[in-house]
Structure formats: C-alpha cells, structure tokens
Amino acid sequence: MKMIIARRKVLGSIGLGAVVGSSSIIGSATPSHASAADDLIAAFTGGAKPGSGKISLGAPQIAENGNTVPIKVSVESAMSEADHVAEVLIVATGNPAPGVVTFKFTAMSGKAAASTRIRLAKTQELIAIARMSDGSLYQDAKTVKVTIGGCGG
C-alpha cells in the first residue's frame, strides 16, 4: 500500500511540474490581448492612421452581461459606386480573440449600418474602423464596463 501512495505522489508531483512548466512557456510565447488587437488593426489599416468622424459606434457604457452586449455601427457615406463604405472592422481590445466582426458593404447596400450582439471577456475598449472605397479610414471607440449582475464591479 505504501508503494501505491508513494507512486501517486511522485506521479502527481511530475504532473504538477509539467503543468506549471508548460504554463510558463505558453504564457511567455502568447502575445497579450492588447498587442493582438494592435496587430489586427495594423493589418486592417495597412499601418495607416484612421481619421475621426464619419463612423459612429454605439455600445452601452455598462453591460450587465458580457455574453450579449448589443452594438451598432453606422458610417456616413453617399453609398454610390464612386464613394461607399467597403468594410467595417470591430475590435474588442481585451478579448482573447480581438477581431469580433467585420461587416462588408457595397454601393448596393444602400446605407452602411449594422448591429449585432457580441461577447466581451471583461471591461474593455471597443474600436470600430471603416475602410472606404477610396482607401480612406475612419475610427470610433467606446469603453464598455462589463459587470456581474449590474453591480458596477
């Protein structure tokens, strides 16, 4: 019986050491959520700095449930063949996967507006970036405080 207990302790210690060792390796190799969001934005914008105006991001200041946060986005545009919104990227800077949604539009869309519900891991900034048909970029951002049960925590 002592042999079995000793064996379990040894195996348990080895297992715990492997978990601790692998988590430190994984933690050092995994980029932070903020840098992942920055990389996603840089890829979408090609490194260009978006201007302000034209785009409006709507999101609640406080979300009682981070699993279903309503958002809406609209972009001022003539929506003609020569001047329309091509796409809008929504980024949640604190989520493990920051690219929440990309809405694609054409001149035949009529207007550049969309709404959906998203999942937020914690209190964080949402960023909406619109790419116009001429390549120009516009950005709006909102901070959403995610609470548990609406307690403001």
Closest residue by Cα to residue 123 from 143, 98, 139, 97? 143
> What average pLDDT does range 109-127 have in this prediction?
96
In the CATH scheme, what is the homologous superfamily, with its name and number, of domain 33-146?
Answer: SoxY domain (2.60.40.2470)
Here the tokens at position 81 are 């063949």
> What average pLDDT does range 57-85 have in this prediction?
96
The C-alpha angle with vertex 52 and arms to 51 and 58, in degrees rounded to 5, equals 135
CA-CA distance, 56 to 30, in Å (whole number)?
32
Decide if 113 contacts 29 (C-beta within 8 A): no
pLDDT surpassing 70 at residue 27:
no
User: E strand or H helix at 115, and its extent?
Assistant: strand 112-118
pLDDT score, position 128 = 98
Q: Strands across the sheet with 69-75, in order?
A: 55-58, 69-75, 112-118
Half-sphere exposure of 84 (CA within 13 A, CB side): 16
Q: What is the pTM of this model?
A: 0.76
pLDDT score, position 18 = 43
Pairing assessment for the beta strands 85-92 and 99-104 based on DSSP bridges: antiparallel
Here the tokens at position 9 are 């302790």
> What average pLDDT does range 36-49 have in this prediction?
96
Domain map (residue ranges) of the chain: 1-30, 33-146
CA-CA distance, 138 to 115, in Å (whole number)?
18
Count of other CB atoms within 10 angstroms of residue 94: 18
Share of the chain above pLDDT 70, in %: 75
